[in-house]
């Protein structure tokens, strides 16, 4: 994929009926008022040489930073990157965290976050790279639920 396709996918989610967004090859998880999609996925890091994994993750992080710059240009600077460790602790203590934020806290360590002008939605980008037995993925979240 290229950055124009990534931006088009984010735009489509920003204008879509999120309740109707059930599937597709790039949908990781979707539910009422939110959708998480894979914009970019590594190839071979799951079955390849694990010594190459850090470079592969760096490549996916670079895609995240590139898309971040494009979204900053569109919507203004993102909020400060949001580490999700606090959400993980809150969940472990029994606090109920709304979806999609709970799911994202299980997948990524940090999100870049925007609230596009004139919308009631939030857009977030994160890299899912915790599981060395899985591919690294650049995830985009579009949700109607405010961050907790």
Q: Is residue 49 part of a domain?
A: yes
Measured CA to CA, the distance from residue 7 to residue 4 in angstroms comes to: 5
Residue among 137, 130, 10, 128 nearest 68 (CA): 10
Q: Is residue 124 part of a domain?
A: yes
Which tens digits make up the pLDDT trace of 20-54? 656 677 888 898 899 999 999 887 655 555 566 77
Q: What pTM was computed for the model?
A: 0.89
Domain range enclosing 28 = 3-143
Number of domains in the chain: 1
Per-residue model confidence (pLDDT) at position 133 = 81
Q: Is residue 115 part of a domain?
A: yes
> CA-based angle 29:10:30, to the nearest 5?
15
Q: Is residue 148 part of a domain?
A: no
Dig out the tokens for 20 from the structure: 């109707």
Which tens digits make up the pLDDT trace of 87-102? 999 999 999 999 999 9
């Amino acid at each position: 994929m290229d950055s124009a396709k990534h931006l088009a996918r984010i735009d489509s989610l920003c204008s879509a009926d999120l309740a109707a967004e059930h599937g597709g090859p790039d949908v990781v998880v979707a539910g009422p008022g939110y959708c998480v999609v894979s914009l970019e996925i590594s190839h071979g890091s799951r079955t390849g040489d694990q010594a190459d994994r850090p470079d592969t993750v760096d490549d996916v992080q670079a895609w995240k930073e590139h898309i971040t710059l494009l979204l900053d240009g569109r919507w203004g600077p993102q909020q400060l990157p949001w580490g999700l460790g606090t959400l993980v602790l809150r969940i472990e203590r029994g606090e109920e965290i709304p979806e999609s934020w709970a799911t994202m806290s299980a997948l990524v360590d940090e999100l870049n976050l925007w609230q596009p002008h004139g919308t009631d939605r939030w857009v977030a980008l994160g890299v899912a790279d915790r599981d060395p037995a899985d591919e690294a993925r650049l995830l985009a979240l579009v949700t109607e639920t405010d961050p907790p």
